[in-house]
Structure formats: structure tokens, C-alpha cells
Amino acid sequence: MILLLRERATPQQLELMLQQHKFYIKTAVDIERRVLTGGGELHADCEKELLKDGSRQQDIWAASFMPTTGRIIYESMVNLRPRQNRKMEIIDPSIREKVAQMINEFLGDL
């Protein structure tokens, strides 16, 4: 189940997002609008929900989050953009920091 969040997830929402992969959550965040989507099979599924909600492609970044350890993996096909990011991993440290802040704010320490 993919959830679109504009504020911190409840423990119940976190459990719903963990259904697909059990130990981690695929996420996509809009770093400008401060909206997070999580859950589902692919990062692209989360990205699609953000686009439907009005996000712009260049503002969407994807990562995986492991709630039990707090670890964030900044790698996804969603992040591969020749003009903006030449790898699947988020390269720009300031973008990585914004993604981490949002994931921790919305999903961390529940």
C-alpha cells in the first residue's frame, strides 16, 4: 500500500507501508512541497503518486528506509537523470540531506 503523507506517519501507517518489503520502505519525496510517499513495490510507484498530486519531476527523489535501524539507501532508478543526477544514487550532498531530513521527520523513531 502506498501512502501519501504531508505529516508524520502514525505507527499504523508505518505498518501498512512495510507490508510489501517487511524490513524496509520504498519512498519518494518532493523536497520542495515537503510531501512523502511510501510503500509499494517500486520507487517509481511512489513517484507516480507524487506526480499525480502535483509534484514536479525535478523535485522528486527516491530512497529506501529501514525503520528498525534508521538506515537510508539513496539509490533508485527514479534518481537517474542526465541533467540533474548522473547515477542511481543521489550525488548532491544537499539533496541527500533534504531527503534524509524528510524521511526521518515523517518515518523515523516511531
31-79 tens-digit pLDDT: 999 999 999 999 999 999 999 999 999 999 999 999 999 999 999 999 9
Domain membership of residue 50 as a residue range: 3-107
Contact 27, 63 (CB under 8 A): yes
- Decide: pTM greater than 0.85: yes
pLDDT of residue 10: 96
Q: State how far the alpha carbon of 3 is from the alpha carbons of 36, 51, 80, 92, 101, in Å.
A: 8, 14, 23, 26, 18
Distance CA 65, CA 102 (A): 11
Q: Count how many domains the chain has.
A: 1
31 sits in the region (left: phi over 0; alpha: psi -120 to 50; else beta) called alpha
